[in-house]
Chain A
Amino acid sequence: SAVISQKPSRDICQRGTSLTIQCQVDSQVTMMFWYRQQPGQSLTLIATANQGSEATYESGFVIDKFPISRPNLTFSTLTVSNMSPEDSSIYLCSVVLGQSRNYGYTFGSGTRLTVV
């Protein structure tokens, strides 16, 4: 399975500022996703990070608020822009390794964001 390094692990930010979260994988992966987990809630998909092109966003999430980059097959960033306290959540990177039906979905350890 892939090993994911997600940074930062946590941060406390002022409202109106932006935070960029990094996801680095130790091998090339076919798919990368960004999820949000609000306090006491389940995981909600923000977007699929596409290598070399614009991310595919889920309903309720827009590029201006959550810009995503994926310059290669091992790295992606998620930016939370113009933050408000409602953005306080855990943000998780997830990757899929391989094309076969036996591939697995691996998650980073998450970034715990608190907006004050």
Chain B
Amino acid sequence: AQSVAQPEDQVNVAEGNPLTVKCTYSVSGNPYLFWYVQYPNRGLQFLLKYITGDNLVKGSYGFEAEFNKSQTSFHLKKPSALVSDSALYFCAVRGLSSGSARQLTFGSGTQLTVLP
């Protein structure tokens, strides 16, 4: 079975400071990893994904994520946070092997608050 853990329900950071939202995963074989963002009363917006290749993935709105296979992590980062980054962030995973479930499995979500 595949699973995702987001250990922090809430992350607070001052505007202009770097931010990190943590994610660890469990999946059979190689993973297919995603980050999504959800603003209030909105659907999920895609930020970035990792399939293979460079461990540092760059995505929308200046976000990036680092895939670490040995630690089974895929933490979301941004060098300088904006107040407008305040939202709910979800990490998701699926396996790439032929026997893997085809749907995404989501973490519990992390509420990011950027303080002015």
Residue positions of A touching B, CB distance < 8 A: 1, 6, 31, 33, 41-45, 48, 92, 94, 96, 101-102, 104-110, 112
Contact between A42 and B108, CB atoms less than 8 A apart: yes
Give Cα A96–Cα B106 distance, bound, in whole angstroms: 16
The 4 nearest A-B residue pairs measured at CB: A109-B43, A107-B44, A43-B106, A110-B43
Chief secondary structure at chain A's binding surface: strand
Contact between B109 and A45, CB atoms less than 8 A apart: no
User: How big is the B interface, by class?
Assistant: 20 to 34
Candidates A42, A48, A101, A112; contact of B41 at CB < 8 Å = A112
Assess A42 versus B49: contact at CB under 8 Å? Given A92-B43, A109-B43. no
Assess A42 versus B51: contact at CB under 8 Å? Given A31-B102, A107-B44. no
A–B Cβ pairs within 8 angstroms, 18 of them: A1-B46, A31-B102, A31-B103, A33-B104, A41-B109, A43-B90, A45-B104, A92-B44, A101-B32, A101-B96, A104-B49, A105-B46, A107-B44, A107-B46, A108-B43, A109-B43, A110-B43, A110-B44
